[in-house]
């Protein structure tokens, strides 16, 4: 499948069937911790990157192929910023007609200052935007946004969305050691969250290959500090464990590429995922992944990760 992947285990959404409506890596931010490589170039253009009817046809097929109970959420999670697909609102509404499963949208939230984006996302059951900084300087340093983006637009957009949105608003804060895990930075994030009134704040740490090699997760103290400062609705989200569904590809190789393009995997996680296949198939798949040029191995956080080869990770 080209646009639909998984289900994959998600930290918040159980077994999540992913819908990716974007080419790698179509984004208006270039976060230092991004697991998908650098945004080259940054784009803030909304358009129909892939035909919406093709996407919905695949979603329909994927939903039919899975037994009830296999999927907990259907999640729009792009190889970039989901709201850049010009038909996102239409896609959400179509999925809601196809299934009673809840629909989530993972977004950086940067375009929520636009009323039409807020209207489009209103059909989702949960929206998970990002807020990694409590001031403009740190926002530029961590998220490295497109010049049309600003911290004011981000925070005002999030607050306006909260005022209109009836679903669950779960704000993600990705902590990077030495940048936004200090007491001062966390108090500023808490102040910025005040008018947004999220239902939950999810404290995350980089556990996939961060694009910038110097990015480090916070230490235990930093995590506890964040939990204490970000208030009662804040909770620490630990890396998910669970099974990756590889049935969606035309071949095992294609299925693995479909997942690692959106979700780079630790080498041990990939081998674990392949454990139901014969050792010969596993060896052939890993060898072919390396030889085909469709995948690359990236070393980050002292670990080997498998990722899609077009993703750009500086040495």
Applying CB under 6 A, the residues found at the interface with ligand SF4 are 27, 29-31, 34, 36, 39, 80-81, 108
Closer to ligand SF4 by Cβ: residue 101 or 129: 129
Give yes or no for a contact between 2 and 58, defined as CB atoms under 8 angstroms apart.
yes
Q: Minimum CB separation from ligand SF4 for residue 169, in Å?
A: 17
Q: Minimum CB separation from ligand SF4 for residue 129, in Å?
A: 10
- Using a CB cutoff of 8 Å and minimum separation of 24, what contacts does 274-278 make? 274/246, 277/252
Closer to ligand SF4 by Cβ: residue 63 or 173: 173
Q: What angle do CA 37, 39, 45 make, to 5 degrees?
A: 145
Closer to ligand SF4 by Cβ: residue 110 or 285: 110
Q: Minimum CB separation from ligand SF4 for residue 82, in Å?
A: 9
Closer to ligand SF4 by Cβ: residue 279 or 314: 314
Rounded CA-CA distance 87/46 in Å is: 9
In angstroms, the Cα distances linking 22 to 78, 84, 173, 224 are 6, 8, 23, 35
Closer to ligand SF4 by Cβ: residue 81 or 245: 81
Q: Minimum CB separation from ligand SF4 for residue 20, in Å?
A: 11
Q: Minimum CB separation from ligand SF4 for residue 125, in Å?
A: 21
Closer to ligand SF4 by Cβ: residue 34 or 92: 34
Rounded CA-CA distance 284/221 in Å is: 43
Q: Minimum CB separation from ligand SF4 for residue 123, in Å?
A: 21
Q: Minimum CB separation from ligand SF4 for residue 36, in Å?
A: 5
- Using a CB cutoff of 8 Å and minimum separation of 24, what contacts does 52-58 make? 52/21, 52/85, 52/87, 52/90, 52/91, 52/94, 54/2, 54/3, 55/3, 55/4, 55/19, 55/21, 55/91, 56/91, 56/94, 56/95, 56/98, 58/1, 58/2, 58/3, 58/4
Helix (H) or strand (E) run with residue 94 in it:
helix 88-98
Closer to ligand SF4 by Cβ: residue 3 or 274: 3
Task: Give the residue among 311, 298, 246 at the shortest CA–CA distance from 272.
Answer: 246
Q: Minimum CB separation from ligand SF4 for residue 102, in Å?
A: 21
Closer to ligand SF4 by Cβ: residue 209 or 248: 209
Burial zone of 93 (CB within 10 Å; 0-12 exposed, 13-18 middle, 19+ buried): middle
E runs forming strands in 31-102: 73-76
Q: Minimum CB separation from ligand SF4 for residue 300, in Å?
A: 14
Q: What angle do CA 40, 46, 47 make, to 5 degrees?
A: 100
The DSSP symbol for 82 reads G
Closer to ligand SF4 by Cβ: residue 134 or 145: 145
């Amino acid at each position: 499948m080209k646009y639909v992947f998984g289900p994959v285990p998600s930290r918040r959404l159980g077994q999540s069937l992913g819908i990716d409506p974007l080419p790698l890596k179509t984004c208006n931010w270039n976060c230092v911790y991004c697991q998908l490589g650098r945004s080259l170039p940054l784009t803030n253009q909304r358009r129909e990157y892939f035909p919406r009817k093709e996407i919905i046809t695949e979603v329909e097929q994927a939903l039919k192929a899975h037994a009830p109970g296999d999927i907990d959420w259907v999640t729009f999670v792009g190889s970039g910023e989901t709201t850049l697909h010009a038909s996102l609102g239409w896609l959400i509404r179509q999925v809601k007609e196809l299934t009673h499963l809840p629909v989530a949208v993972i977004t950086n939230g940067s375009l929520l200052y636009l009323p039409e984006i807020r209207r489009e996302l209103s059909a989702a059951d949960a929206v998970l935007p990002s807020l990694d900084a409590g001031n403009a300087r740190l926002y530029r340093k961590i998220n490295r946004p497109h010049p049309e983006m600003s911290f004011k637009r981000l925070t005002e957009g999030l607050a306006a969305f909260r005022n209109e949105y009836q679903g669950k608003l779960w704000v993600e804060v990705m902590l990077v050691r030495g940048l936004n895990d200090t007491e001062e930075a966390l108090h500023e994030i808490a102040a910025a969250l005040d008018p947004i009134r999220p239902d939950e704040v999810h404290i995350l740490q980089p556990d996939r290959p961060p694009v910038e090699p110097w990015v480090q997760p916070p230490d235990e103290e930093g995590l506890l500090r964040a939990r204490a400062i970000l208030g009662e609705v804040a909770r620490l989200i630990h890396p998910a464990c669970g099974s990756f569904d590889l049935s969606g590809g035309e071949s095992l190789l294609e299925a693995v590429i479909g997942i690692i393009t959106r979700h780079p995997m630790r080498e041990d996680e990939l081998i674990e995922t392949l454990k139901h296949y014969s050792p010969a198939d596993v060896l052939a798949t890993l060898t072919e992944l390396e030889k085909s040029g469709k995948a690359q191995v990236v070393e980050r956080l002292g670990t080997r990760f498998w990722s899609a080869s077009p993703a750009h990770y500086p040495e």
